[in-house]
Homo-oligomer: A and B are copies of this chain.
Amino acid sequence: MSRDRISLFDTTLRDGAQTQGVQFSASEKHQISDVLDGLGLDYIEGGWPGANPTDTAFFAKPPKTQATFTAFGMTKRSGRSAENDDVLAPVVNAGTAAVCLVGKAHDFHVTTALGITLDENVANIAASFAHLSGLGREGLFDAEHFFDGYKSNADYSLQCIHAAYDAGARWIVLCDTNGGTLPDEISRIVTDVIASGIPGSHVAIHTHNDTENAVAGSLAAVMAGARQIQGTLNGLGERCGNANLTTLIPTLMLKEPYASMFETGVTPEALKGLRRASRMLDDILNRVPAKQAPYVGASAFAHKSGLHASAIAKDPSTYEHVDPAAVGNSRIVPMSNQAGQSNLRARLADAGIDVAADNPALARIIKRIKEKEAQGFSYDSAQASFELLARQELKIMPRFFEVKRYRVTVERRKNKYGEMMSLSEAVVVTKVGGKRFLNVSESRGPDGSDQGPVNALSRALSKDLGPYQKIIDDMRLVDFKVRITNGGTEAVTRVIIDSEDAQGRMWSTVGVSPNIVDASFDALVDAINWKLIRDAD
């Protein structure tokens, strides 16, 4: 049986930007569209050109994507032609292959929110898509509040979407804008829409998670015949979020009856990058990854119950509905038992350290990791710091240098022109092979501006390490993540530093302290030690 193609439309950069607390920069939008494009999605909606400076800048220099890059906007307003609508113009002028325009499909909204007649609204929709068709653009009609509109006045809602379809819109996107429609209703109404004459191959579903049914509603629409799903990575989006593509993609590809009925543009190989894509988005946004996220969460294949863990040891399929490797995730069995130690050995082997199964240091390492995690450390992403901790317990951690003391000062005061200026300065004293090194550095960005105390400390620390200096000269601090967390009963600061070197290695280290400068300094020292282990003779 041939499988139907499901088109995947990502709106992380548009509806996802409506997430409270999320504010993409143009450069973040570029990074995220690279991540999305690596998955093999069909459409990437970039934002609304003309609506704000970020989106305007992003569309002025759009990303190169395999996916069809799409601009969002709204149907033309009353009282002017589509050609002369100055809100529609920048959307069209962005020159994307596809354009998605939102319009009203609910009588109540037309009269209450827009304050125009029902016929005027239909005419605006038709004229907007005729305009796009005339320009040879692929049009998508976001039929706002379609489901509520259908329940209020089915004939009018259908009239709106048929106007768009007849004027050449490629996809009719049925939006459950306020997230209140339940899956059974979605199924029934999608069936009616297709029966009204719009083929399922032109029907898309756009749900929100206000009743925790965004994924279920999308699946219900597909079973009723819709052939495009709109959603976001990690379920970002207005209010409770959009349909979560991170969950929908593996469900469509791995779960029956979907896997036998449908295919998507995501390859099994790309699917293995799903967990990583999810984490990269969180990293870019500095959000804490949701542990319990289906498929990609750190807990998704964690078997805490003793009953489960012992059955898993006999056969993983006993408690896992899919293979964690299929989405790039892995099984977690609590460190306290046998399986935990074998996990640890595997992780050490990844760092090039082979440890015999009966080495008593394994239990000590697990104990110290638990203690440190209780203090606020996290070794999930700080693999380099984990390696250093394990090396200490295994007595294979060389002492390259010792930090005797440091001092960092931040001052803000008027300069000679009477302007307020900041300056950070750090002094670090180290001892290398019996010799003291006293180094001082200021912090300066490319434009001469002050980059703050951590930058100054990093410079002073890596200014002269004596015999090791040439080894660390190619190190570069590429990212710096700060999170306030709990260590015991008190709030502490956790700093994770990502470093790289000229050989293309990338490594992450962690520091924890109530004092953010101290936490950063410890992560910097770990980063240098890890590099020295690799490259010092």
* A-to-B contact residues, CB < 8 Å: 17-21, 23, 25, 27-28, 51-54, 74, 102, 108-109, 112-113, 145, 177-180, 182-184, 209-216, 219-220, 223, 235, 238-241, 244, 247, 251, 255, 286, 288, 290-295, 297-305, 307-308, 310-311, 314-315, 318-322, 332, 334, 336-338, 370, 373-374, 376, 378, 380-381, 403-414, 422, 424, 443, 445-446, 449-455, 479-491, 493, 513-518, 521
In the bound complex, what is the Cα–Cα distance between A309 and B377 (angstroms)?
41
A422 touching B515, Cβ below 8 Å = yes
Q: Identify A513's interface contact among B311, B409, B422, CB under 8 A.
A: B422
How far does the Cβ of A204 sit from chain B's closest Cβ, in whole Å? 19
A298 touching B20, Cβ below 8 Å = yes
B450 touching A515, Cβ below 8 Å = yes
B18 touching A305, Cβ below 8 Å = yes
In the bound complex, what is the Cα–Cα distance between A487 and B27 (angstroms)?
10
B299 touching A453, Cβ below 8 Å = no
How far does the Cβ of A346 sit from chain B's closest Cβ, in whole Å? 15
Residue of B nearest to A286 (CB): B483
Q: Do A20 and B291 form a contact, CB below 8 Å, given A337-B52, A374-B54? A: yes
**Known pairs A182-B255, A241-B292 / 18 extra A-B pairs, C-beta < 8 Å:** A20-B298, A20-B304, A20-B334, A23-B373, A53-B374, A54-B337, A109-B311, A113-B315, A180-B321, A211-B247, A211-B255, A212-B216, A239-B303, A240-B293, A422-B517, A455-B514, A480-B491, A482-B484
List 18 A–B pairs whose Cβ atoms lie within 8 Å, in order of A's numbering: A18-B338, A20-B302, A25-B376, A28-B486, A113-B314, A177-B319, A180-B322, A182-B219, A182-B251, A184-B223, A211-B215, A215-B216, A238-B308, A404-B414, A422-B513, A422-B517, A445-B514, A479-B491
In the bound complex, what is the Cα–Cα distance between A29 and B219 (angstroms)?
37
B452 touching A112, Cβ below 8 Å = no
In the bound complex, what is the Cα–Cα distance between A1 and B310 (angstroms)?
49
B297 touching A240, Cβ below 8 Å = yes
A299 touching B240, Cβ below 8 Å = yes
Residue of B nearest to A320 (CB): B178
A518 touching B408, Cβ below 8 Å = no
A408 touching B410, Cβ below 8 Å = yes
Most buried by B among A223, A381, A410: A410
Chain B neighbourhood of A311, CB < 8 A: 109, 112-113
Q: Do A212 and B210 form a contact, CB below 8 Å, given A321-B180, A337-B54, A452-B493? A: no
In the bound complex, what is the Cα–Cα distance between A445 and B445 (angstroms)?
33
In the bound complex, what is the Cα–Cα distance between A415 and B374 (angstroms)?
26
